[in-house]
Amino acid sequence: MTPFACTYVCFNLTPCPTIFTRFPAFSLRFRVYKFERWPTIFYMDIDNVSRFDLFRDLTDGECTRIVSLGRECVFQAGEPILQEGSRGEDFYLVLSGNAEVTKNGVRVDDAGAGEILGEMALFNDQVRGYGVAATECTRCVRIETSDFLPLVLHNDPAAVKMFAALGRVMTERLQRQDAELVSKAGSSDERLAQLAGSFAPLKKQLMADWALKYHAIGRPGKLAITATKAAGSAADLSVAYSPGVAEPCVAIAKDAGRAYDYTAKGQLVGVVTNGTAVLGLGKIGALAAKPVMEGKAILFKRFADIDAFDIEVNETDPERFVDVVCAIAPTFGGINLEDIKAPECFEIERECCRRLDIPVFHDDQHGTAIISGAGLLNALEIVTKHIADIRVVFSGAGAAGFSCARFMLSLGVSPGNLLMTDVHGVVYKGRGDDNYLAEVAAETDCRTLAEAIEGADVFVGASAPGVLSAQMLKTMNRDPIVFAMANPVPEIDYPTALRARDDVIMGTGRSDYPNQINNVSAFPYIFRGALDVRATAINEQMKLAAAHAIARLAREPVTEQAGFDGGDLRFGRTYIIPRPFDRRLLIHVSAAVAEAAMQSKVAQRTVDLDQYKAQLRRLAKLER
């Protein structure tokens, strides 16, 4: 018997083994079941279902396994599918039709074929956060969480893949709904204000739960090591290891530069921390910082195809920490220092740079500075202000704030027009700071942020939530530029800022608001350019080149080459920095950094820039 061209599945049934015994070939492409509850058999084309985006990472067999957990449900127009406030014990895959998603009676989304409904029940076993009703005859597959979750807990491959896909869908949905609320931030509609107020805690709870599950499902953590050469036979091992491996060892012993030819050194970055200033969590220790460092390694790989090892060092003494970093440095082509508190981070980076002949880069300092600097250049062009004339006020004098201030001085901000504030107020000459802050201490009578911000053109925050009030914002100069970078809650909330000033240009560290100031738009590409010319350092010229390259890219049209749907994005007040997923960053920034390294004489390898850009375009999958 010839197998059918497509596979079918039916739901909540008992297997019928007779068919598989008599027709083995038939069983390869068909999943046939006998109903326990219904008198007839219902078939569904699994090939059509497997084309849904939700199932893109699953094989046909895995797709069949998941769908066969459920049963078919049909809802007529107007009939509720999910009721807001009810307990979530199942989720639904929409096979056909359409449904409307509501929150507090307000429409927030639509769902058609291939969409999932009620997936939040997997991440929040309390009440439904949303209501869903069919807007036309809608067919669904209903899967109970009590049937699905045990498979995830037992690391069933199909269930783990599906669970990850559901988490991705939920995250995208939450971000989309948040973005829609943000777009209406200036509205006086009380229902929208209530919706925004109830949505924020729900999103926070769901994202926190999913983040824990994301890191735990399947193989714990986010990293694995893969081999780049064949190692499946004795012949392979004889050159990968003994005796053949002796040859590259001898060559490197004679010429250290050959390590770049025979090992992964030139493609490998060490992400090193002691866990003394982790994200917004503070001093949580080296081990607790490991998820962040693994995440950093993923970003290196995802955006610039650079391999990275996360190294968590249980040492808070700066001198001993530097000794550890320098001792392991032969492994790497570059060192990315991460989440080390100020002022020790300045001393550690400076000493590592002095002792090592590979690039050393503290991303919390320089990555933030480069991205905010690029945003500043573009914002000033939009509001037609000259960088030498603007007044800039900083909130936060830690690693990020201090480095942003220094970098903006390099970009052209006048030292006399820059004021730094911290928890003690304005950093002024004579205040008594016998440390690094003396470099940015100002001659001023201002003592508080409120006094400093009056008449300022730019506010840069790297401090704490809520330190910039709406009233303070109202006292700034025309077309104020506000970079509120505290995460996850900025110094002033985006909707609050828009209500206070409709002429504000605002950037934050959040992906759900316009103008995200995110280091990932800089550090992978800076290291890519530095590694490719075997730079001995990442100097100021390379950082400036990166900032100007990022700024230039934001002024270009968002085409298909960007690798994402730019929609109506165009250079202006809500688009002054390229989105992190813009594939063109790899070409623009890496090439600019490589060129600056060669011009400033820190490159040990010269590349032809046209050929190098072509190589980067292939790496970014912009051409073959």
Has 494 been annotated as catalytic? no
Q: 581: exposed, middle or buried (C-beta count within 10 Å: 0-12, 13-18, 19+)? A: middle
With contact defined as beta carbons under 8 Å apart, do 48 and 34 qualify? no
Q: Which of 161, 203, 296, 543 is catalytic?
A: 296
Q: 610: exposed, middle or buried (C-beta count within 10 Å: 0-12, 13-18, 19+)? A: exposed
**Residue 311 and residue 285: Cα distance in Å, rounded?**
13
* DSSP state letters, 521-583: GTHHHHHHHHHHTTBS---HHHHHHHHHHHHHHHTS---GGGSS--TT--SBTTBSS--TT-T
Interacting residues of 581 by C-beta distance below 8 A, sequence separation 6+: 562, 563, 564
Q: Which two tokens stand for residue 405?
A: 């201030």
The dihedrals phi and psi of 523, each to the nearest 5 degrees, come to -60, -35
Sign for the CA dihedral angle at 236, 241, 243, 244 comes to positive
Residue spans of alpha helices (H) in 68-156: 145-153
With contact defined as beta carbons under 8 Å apart, do 379 and 577 qualify? no
Tokens 């497509």 identify what position? 6
With contact defined as beta carbons under 8 Å apart, do 524 and 538 qualify? no
Q: Coil, strand, or helix at residue 221? A: coil
Longest Cα–Cα distance of the chain, Å, equals 93
Has 262 been annotated as catalytic? no
Q: Which two tokens stand for residue 504?
A: 């504000």
**Residue 403 and residue 113: Cα distance in Å, rounded?**
49
With contact defined as beta carbons under 8 Å apart, do 75 and 81 qualify? yes
With contact defined as beta carbons under 8 Å apart, do 135 and 115 qualify? no
**Residue 216 and residue 201: Cα distance in Å, rounded?**
23
Q: What is the dihedral of CA 157, 158, 161, 165, to 10 degrees?
A: -170
With contact defined as beta carbons under 8 Å apart, do 480 and 459 qualify? yes
What's the chain's Rg over C-alpha atoms? 28
Tokens 């197998």 identify what position? 3
With contact defined as beta carbons under 8 Å apart, do 334 and 521 qualify? no
Q: Which two tokens stand for residue 429?
A: 């000459």
Interacting residues of 538 by C-beta distance below 8 A, sequence separation 6+: 359, 360, 361, 366, 526, 527, 530, 593
With contact defined as beta carbons under 8 Å apart, do 300 and 308 qualify? yes
Q: Which two tokens stand for residue 139?
A: 């067919």
Count Cα atoms within 13 angstroms, Cβ side, for 522: 32
List b or e across 117-141, with b for residues whose CB sees 16 or more CB atoms inside 10 angstroms. Answer: bbbbbbbbeeebbbbbbbbeebbbb
Q: Which of 241, 262, 429, 621 is catalytic?
A: 241
Catalytic residues: 241, 296
